[in-house]
Structure 1
């Protein structure tokens, strides 16, 4: 059968989800049908044989142009199921139907395209295994992180999961969204609420919030998880805390709570300052690639690139 293309309505959900689960190395919460259905405007897929491997393709249409895009709140995709090498990956990309004139895919960290000639962006993520005792993990923190966690521990703060999704999102909208000029629109926040509700219903979500002694939320984070893989998906903090102590406190408490468990925490950000913050918790750096391929003529590509920047 080889590699073939399926529209969403043609996909066998049971076989798809079984394929995602078949390889613990690449299995991702974000590649299951339920999550894709909410996170993507539309999606279709490439499938190998009888769902031996699969590749989700989130897509949109603008000005008559179909294009594959990386949705918000969907960190990394690529090919799942049976492992493939770089040469096989190229065959998959070439198999993406010609109806898609622009392809922008963020591949997961187990797919290396460093030798490819196509336009690509190198990203970093940080992975923190929590299987060691807490004191052993903390000993490997950077000196700055040790100092800030120590200062935060002296505050009269508490960790709680008794807060609404809306409260945490409001904190983000009024702080980081303004400072970092985040391009989320109203529809994106609605989608995030939908995703969080879905994850909570699936019992695949932990909520963490830091509150002061007056009940004010200082920081919050959502941690989706599956089979021991936790993801730092979305967070908010009060920017009046310029030292970021509340977020130091939150992540340190998360690590302390999950120490000596067979889990790992995935921390990803393209912002250099935030990436350094994650790395300071003694997390291991991992690389992944964003692949961009244009099948447009020069004029169409110029206009389309401008549209995507303004999106």
Structure 2
């Protein structure tokens, strides 16, 4: 049976145990992550068996025109259904049916499956969004062979400029660089959102799931990146580049360094995708494959659904 649990009713130890038993969990679904990006405003649909959680479906909540709605938080590309080998209810459509019974409005993003079909209730709409993912199971030499010629030339340029990737503790410099460059094109991105990102990095580092990388030249920050790690994937969450950094191909140099570090392992490098052609081509240059995910909208009224909040959540993806 699928139950809707309030935030106070969720057993966080059980939640984390369920994710640990799931072969396809995402770092965004951890309780500590959800607590930060929603400011502790989330509930969940949970399947229980013999007193333990065997499936979980997180529901970030906010008030919208006097009622609670499910939404996709900033810095959280996808959520969805996370099941274990003990799960009985394994079809995401079952959870969406329950979801629509309790909430008037939903904006939600989750992994796509070939068998997915929209729930039967009226008001659901769907669109596919592109992610880019690269398997790191092969050797670095094999992965490098599939790099585009443009990327290979860019990496040589970075090597000639003696670029060096450095792991740092604070995200302040990369966030400041973003706010002074790409951030100026995103007027909806405000100081409070950057504050959430800083807190998120601190929590990710506390749980050994977050890293901040920089490349500097003569003390000047060329590029910076915030990386998330778990047992299954490395996720490129956030990054910024100066004009000189772009000229030297510094972001590609850093991402190549991270890929070389963990090649030959059963891990996926998740670029977090892009609908901007130039950025998508940059990710594809690493040999990354497009992997679609679902962006769902539901509302009971006849008003046409708005996709603007999930577009905002993509930070106009993004950089290189």
Stretches of structure 2 that go unaligned for 5 or more consecutive residues are 313-320
Q: Is the 8 A contact 2:96 2:119 kept in 1?
A: no
Task: Determine the structure 2 residue equivalent to 1:139.
Answer: 145
Aligned partner of 1:30 among 21, 28, 35:
28
Task: Determine the structure 2 residue equivalent to 1:107.
Answer: 110
Cα distance in 2, alignment partners of residues 183 and 258 from structure 1: 36
Task: Determine the structure 2 residue equivalent to 1:165.
Answer: 171
Q: Is the 8 A contact 2:222 2:244 kept in 1?
A: no
Cα distance in 2, alignment partners of residues 112 and 194 from structure 1: 37
Q: Is the 8 A contact 1:21 1:81 kept in 2?
A: no
Q: Deviations for 1:103-158, whole angstroms, at most 9, x for unmatched residues? A: 11101245753667831121121221223222221110112111212222211322
CA distance 1:85–1:267, shift in 2 (3 Å): farther
**Of 32-41 and 191-200, the range deviating more from structure 2:** 32-41
* 3-state SS of paired residue (2:111): coil
Cα distance in 2, alignment partners of residues 158 and 127 from structure 1: 25
User: Does 2:279 match 1:263?
Assistant: no
* 3-state SS of paired residue (2:261): helix
Q: Following TM superposition, by how much is the alpha carbon of 1:79 offset from its aligned partner in structure 2, in angstroms?
A: 0.5
Q: Deviations for 1:287-309, whole angstroms, at most 9, x for unmatched residues? A: 1111111112x4xx46x959959
Q: Following TM superposition, by how much is the alpha carbon of 1:61 offset from its aligned partner in structure 2, in angstroms?
A: 0.3
Cα distance in 2, alignment partners of residues 187 and 57 from structure 1: 22
Stretches of structure 1 that go unaligned for 5 or more consecutive residues are none
Query: What is the aligned length?
Result: 303
CA distance 1:49–1:280, shift in 2 (3 Å): same
TM-score (norm 2): 0.86
Q: Is the 8 A contact 1:112 1:288 kept in 2?
A: no
Over the residues paired in the alignment, what is the CA RMSD in angstroms? Answer: 2.7
CA distance 1:121–1:86, shift in 2 (3 Å): farther
Q: Is the 8 A contact 1:86 1:111 kept in 2?
A: no
Q: Is the 8 A contact 1:140 1:281 kept in 2?
A: yes
Task: Determine the structure 2 residue equivalent to 1:276.
Answer: 281
